[in-house]
Structure 1
């Protein structure tokens, strides 16, 4: 639900960063295999002996399925349902849905606002127009696959764009957010547009937005006509302003200020990590 339109007094262009658990920690969690080269057979051998040093430490790793799998029990913080604090008093239910996200069209990189830059290593520019948050729930996006209208395969990549939350003002007093006794939630303030960050995620990474984290709607990358399928896990009670709060970004001036994300790579394609 759209709750406000925020002015953009000055333009802002930001680069993409690689998505890692540590870099994204202020905004949520990244779910990815912490030891992609470790196979279950080696893990099973380590647990059947006196040593389990082959298993990654700090992720709650155990051998499972009769030694044919590794289970990571502490990969990320648990999902959160905070709707008990919602003003409506309406409880939430867990939701598992699918978003089929079409690849976003990137604008060509320009040097001076007039022409495309020669020799640039930028694949293009993505413009952020909307930010949203889900005050009472975490929201996890799990990429499944990439579908393309062409015969050539393309790696799954998508943008994860987030912003810190400003201290609340009197204009925010009526916005429903959970009671925060432990001061661990972002609060009811607006997004800090001067500190927007953009991460480039791969198909081997799922992402959980923390409850109340300001983020852009999912932006899949890829060739025209392609899409990325995401399984999405969250809680919801179907009260619009409690489930989702959106702000639109509006630039002033003759050409309009914008928040632009520079996606790096060879001209015409997204960079391959």
Structure 2
């Protein structure tokens, strides 16, 4: 695969991920305040969930098999009718590969982020992303996305492909 593009793995930050959606985490970088007589800290309004005009928000659990690195990124998908949020439940880091919404991306448009076990992501409507990328072990994710009429998943194959190096 001499023409494959090797992706750089970046740390997941609010600023770096902003063109693609939201980082979901309890940190000083987000609005937070005490509730319940000071017994609970509320990290407030962390993601712009979007079910679209004719959809409704649903909650699911996805159980992802681990991906071995290096990993060839052969395809990308997007959800044109609504956002899709992933919150890790298994206490393990995972990878996020994204490209901006719009025309189908090439390997040169992709960005790869390493999310910590304490960070979720919300892909904005139409953002290209690779399906769930658990690392090391089978991992569960709470997923908040759209249910409703119409096709809400477009897939494309990448040519050339991208490669995610070993950590």
**What TM-score comes out, normalization by structure 1 length?**
0.57
Q: Partners in 2 of 1:218 and 1:229 — Cα distance?
A: 10
What is the aligned-residue RMSD (CA, Å)?
2.0
Please list every run of 5 or more consecutive structure 1 residues that lacks an aligned counterpart in the other structure: 1-7, 36-57, 85-90, 107-124, 147-155, 165-185, 252-257, 265-273
Q: Partners in 1 of 2:107 and 2:87 — Cα distance?
A: 26
Q: Is the contact between residue 143 and residue 205 of structure 1 (CA under 8 Å) also seen in structure 2?
A: yes
Q: Is the contact between residue 107 and residue 159 of structure 2 (CA under 8 Å) also seen in structure 1?
A: no
Q: Greater share of helix residues, 1 or 2?
A: 1
Q: Is the contact between residue 16 and residue 263 of structure 1 (CA under 8 Å) also seen in structure 2?
A: no
Q: Partners in 2 of 1:77 and 1:217 — Cα distance?
A: 19
Q: Partners in 2 of 1:204 and 1:211 — Cα distance?
A: 23
Q: Which of 61, 86, 97 is residue 161 of structure 1 equivalent to?
A: 97
Q: Quick check: which has more Rg, 1 or 2?
A: 1
Q: Is the contact between residue 35 and residue 41 of structure 2 (CA under 8 Å) also seen in structure 1?
A: yes
Q: Is the contact between residue 132 and residue 214 of structure 1 (CA under 8 Å) also seen in structure 2?
A: yes
Q: Partners in 2 of 1:30 and 1:64 — Cα distance?
A: 22
**What TM-score comes out, normalization by structure 2 length?**
0.90
Q: Is the contact between residue 21 and residue 124 of structure 2 (CA under 8 Å) also seen in structure 1?
A: yes
Q: Partners in 1 of 2:166 and 2:131 — Cα distance?
A: 16
Secondary structure, in 3 states, of the residue corresponding to 2:7?
Answer: strand
Counterpart of 1:194?
Answer: 108
- Is the aligned partner of 1:14 residue 2:7? yes
Q: Which of 129, 140, 143 is residue 232 of structure 1 equivalent to?
A: 143
Q: Can you list the C-alpha shifts for 1:195-214, whole angstroms capped at 9, x where unaligned?
A: 21100111100110011000
Secondary structure, in 3 states, of the residue corresponding to 1:203?
Answer: coil
Q: Is the contact between residue 58 and residue 144 of structure 2 (CA under 8 Å) also seen in structure 1?
A: yes
| Consecutive aligned runs of 4 or more in structure 1 exceeding 4 Å deviation | none
Q: Is the contact between residue 157 and residue 202 of structure 1 (CA under 8 Å) also seen in structure 2?
A: yes
How far 1:9 moved relative to its partner? 9.8
1:1-273 alignment to 2 at 5 Å?
10-35=3-28, 59-74=30-45, 76-82=46-52, 84=53, 91-106=54-69, 125-145=70-90, 156-164=92-100, 186-187=101-102, 189-222=103-136, 226-239=137-150, 242-251=151-160, 258-264=161-167
| Aligned length in residues | 167
